[in-house]
Amino acid sequence: GGGGGDARDGQPPLPWTKDGYSQPATPDGATPSPIVNRRAGPILITAPHGLRCFRGGKAHGDRRRIHHREKFSTEIALKLSAAIGRQMGFPCSFIVWNMKTAKRADNANLDPNYLLDSQFDRSPWHLALVDWKNACRAAGSPCMHVDFHGKHDPKPKKGSRVKKFTLDLGIDPLTDCAEDREETDATALQWTEAEAEALKTAAFDELSMAMSEVTLGSQHSPAPVVVDADPYLCGLWGHGCECTLSHQAVREGVPAFQLETPYTLRRAMASDDGAIVERMAAAIVSLYQNVVTQVEAGKGPITDYTEMPMPERMGPQKESAGGAGGAGGAGGAEEDAALVQADLVAIEAMLGDIRVLDARDSDKQI
């Protein structure tokens, strides 16, 4: 899931204007964005808690609270994006916090997973999500959003060991909104309740198969990874209140779900040879190709993702008013492959910088 170390691994990160992935937040290019928004292919991977951020406060009618960084979540989102890009032969979209440019403890760092409708326009995450959705719709390509999260490891009873690690599949925004689109303010969604349930069932099956050979813990007491399709961390706060990122996507008409991963699974995905990441990426690609594309084809004419406009290469010099993507006709297979390879280089540069910056991060992490 991303390969070996960056060529500059361990060295001080380059300035944001020269690192090949950071983007400006303003048209004059003077101020860096706190996120990296890679608008490319029809699958979007996000990791909204890869940085300490703030939720609640006056607008919510409660106290402001800190949501701690979920360790390895950004790295895994990047590795998943790289793996999906390789498997599909077309760059994968992603949105992550930029650990280099996002200001620590900045009050503007609103939790993207806990936004009121009135806060959507203040969140670079929501704006990037809508920008990606609009680009996919304009190209006629079906799209799917996967939101990656971390949770605590299970706590075994005293004197016993952890018997299993659970990967939570949170898809309630889609199933709830599909059941009553008017009542849930999701009128942009065209999916039926049966179609949403079909994606839930397929996601459970695909992810269970992907995790079937994964064992965590020590050699003496290995524990399997199981998938829970009806977890407490279901991706939905409710309706008429705060929205998770996957809920925001669903209200924009995009099928979406979130994955809550225990710490030990994240650690394995971030540090192993990439096998777990590749299997999870294959499950996501299969869901897109065999469920999402098929459902969307039943709604009207669709365009294959390989015919989408070629995205620009990553980096600040290619940033435009419309985001990180570019216009123009679709490229051939060789152009697509070259673009995937360029993304891999940019992702490796990010991972190298994160390794350096993570070592300096003394804040509490989940």
Per-residue pLDDT band at 329 (split at 50, 70, 90):
very low
For residues 47 and 322, the model is more confident at 47
Whether the predicted pLDDT of 330 surpasses 80: no
Pick from 3-7, 91-95, 228-232: least confident: 3-7
Q: What would the pLDDT profile of 238-292 be if each residue is shown by its tens digit? A: 999 999 999 999 999 999 999 999 999 999 999 978 999 999 999 999 999 999 9
Per-residue pLDDT band at 83 (split at 50, 70, 90):
very high
- Provide the pLDDT for residue 8: 53
Per-residue pLDDT band at 327 (split at 50, 70, 90):
very low
**CA–CA dist 274, 253 (Å, integer):** 32
Rounded mean pLDDT, 73-90: 97
Whether the predicted pLDDT of 7 surpasses 80: no
Whether the predicted pLDDT of 357 surpasses 70: yes
- Taking each helix axis from N to C terminus, what angle separates 73-88 and 333-359, rounded to the nearest 10 degrees? 170
- Provide the pLDDT for residue 312: 84
Per-residue pLDDT band at 316 (split at 50, 70, 90):
low
**CA–CA dist 77, 83 (Å, integer):** 10
Per-residue pLDDT band at 325 (split at 50, 70, 90):
very low
Which CA distances in Å does 77 have to 69, 118, 152, 352?
14, 27, 18, 14
- Provide the pLDDT for residue 115: 98
Per-residue pLDDT band at 37 (split at 50, 70, 90):
very high
- Provide the pLDDT for residue 315: 65
Per-residue pLDDT band at 6 (split at 50, 70, 90):
very low
Q: What is the mean pLDDT of the chain?
A: 91
Whether the predicted pLDDT of 331 surpasses 80: no
Q: What would the pLDDT profile of 178-225 be if each residue is shown by its tens digit? A: 999 999 999 999 999 999 999 999 999 999 999 999 999 888 889 999
What percent of the chain lies above the pLDDT cut of 70? 93
- Provide the pLDDT for residue 220: 82
Whether the predicted pLDDT of 328 surpasses 80: no
- Provide the pLDDT for residue 324: 38
Per-residue pLDDT band at 363 (split at 50, 70, 90):
confident
Whether the predicted pLDDT of 306 surpasses 50: yes
Whether the predicted pLDDT of 297 surpasses 90: yes
